[in-house]
Amino acid sequence: MMSGPVTQNGRITNLDTVRGIATLCILIMNAVMYGIGDIAYYNLDAGGSNSVIDWIVGIFGEIFIDQKAMAIFSMLFGAGIVLFADRAAAKGRRYVPLSLWRNFLLLLIGLLHAWLWEGDILRVYAICAPILLLLRKQKPKFLLMLGGAMFGLAILIGIATQYTINDSVNKLGGYWIEGVWSDEVGLWFICNIGLRSLGAMLIGVALYRIGFMSGEKDESVYTRTAIWGLGIGIPLATAGVIWQAAADYKTDVAIVGQLPNDAATIPMALAFISLITLWDKKPTKPLHTRIRSVGQMALTNYLTQSIIGVIVFSTIFEKGELGRGAVAVFIILVWVIQLIWSQAWLANFRFGPGEWIWRCVTYRTFQPIKR
């Protein structure tokens, strides 16, 4: 009986390409937390915005990257859960226990990662995995509607939370201003992250089922989706940035000013997946190969981004010392490193180091790593 992981020839290159670009883009927002601080991640006026360049970098990240990269990651995770379960079932494996075990291991990885850096998202993914397994055979239309409803619910909870805390700005401490989060803000934050993540995962499952995520649709479908997604998403995300800036980043728009960006997330994520897919369909160039390599080693690269970020901004620089423009230079340097090292590593090994360890423990057997 075949029980091992998917081989190189069995990979879906479009998923690797999308995952590679998402892995690189997630660093754009996470690096703000590494180098400037948690509050600056949410509030453009809270730190690191000391020059025109800093503001340009911050606004660009807010409109085009914030939440969108995470949404794409979440969609890919949902697709990956289904892909893993389908392939395990096709090989005669008991895919539910195997999938649960695999994601329990992901939870442990996330806990270790959170010990290094508190912004870890792997724990949320691992907790959501059983729900995806439970719903993975539902019709794509139902999954799309359920995923969209979760985003809608997250927005409604945000509105209610902002209304509840408007009489006390101190309740936003730790999120928008210095201080400690209130219970209301903490609950909203957990609900917002959880609902958006699970919603995007369910949408990812649906998109994988209909062949959208794997690049099987006609190019005209991706072109229309890109136009539609950007046409809706960019104005919404821009409106949120303008709203908060016009209100001088006061606490009474801290949450509701973010909600247009929440609404823009799915349209823009679908648009970006479409643009990446159209690019992936073009004749393979060296950059295609390098980005796919980053995607094949997404777990390793995600973890090493944190390791590099924590080391750089605790030894070479102090957190908050650099502006957003300088942090952008750090991001580009890490991109160059990962684009080079991912391809070089996979030229000699079958999996990234993190992926290999995860696979060995998942299957409870040694997996050959050398090519």
Q: Is the pLDDT higher at 70 or at 12?
A: 70
Residue 76 lies in a domain: yes
Nearest alpha carbon to residue 268 among 240, 304, 303, 308: 240
**pLDDT of 216-225, one tens digit each?**
999 999 999 9
**pLDDT of 101-129, one tens digit each?**
999 999 999 999 999 999 999 999 999 99
Residue 234 lies in a domain: yes
Residue 371 lies in a domain: no
Answer whether residue 199 shows pLDDT above 50. Answer: yes
Domain of residue 75, residue span:
25-281
Residue 303 lies in a domain: no
What pLDDT is attached to residue 143? 98
pLDDT (average), residues 204-212: 96
Q: What is the mean pLDDT of the chain?
A: 93
pLDDT (average), residues 149-175: 87
**pLDDT of 76-102, one tens digit each?**
999 999 999 988 888 888 889 999 999
Whether 194 and 123 have beta carbons less than 8 Å apart is answered as no
Residue 189 lies in a domain: yes
Q: How many domains does the chain have?
A: 1
Answer whether residue 167 shows pLDDT above 80. Answer: no
**pLDDT of 237-281, one tens digit each?**
999 999 999 999 998 899 999 999 999 999 999 999 999 999 999
Residue 90 lies in a domain: yes
Answer whether residue 53 shows pLDDT above 90. Answer: yes
Banded pLDDT at 312 (limits 50, 70, 90): very high
pLDDT (average), residues 164-185: 80
For residues 62 and 56, what is the distance between their CA atoms, to the nearest angstrom? 10
What pLDDT is attached to residue 169? 62
Residue 183 lies in a domain: yes
Residue 261 lies in a domain: yes
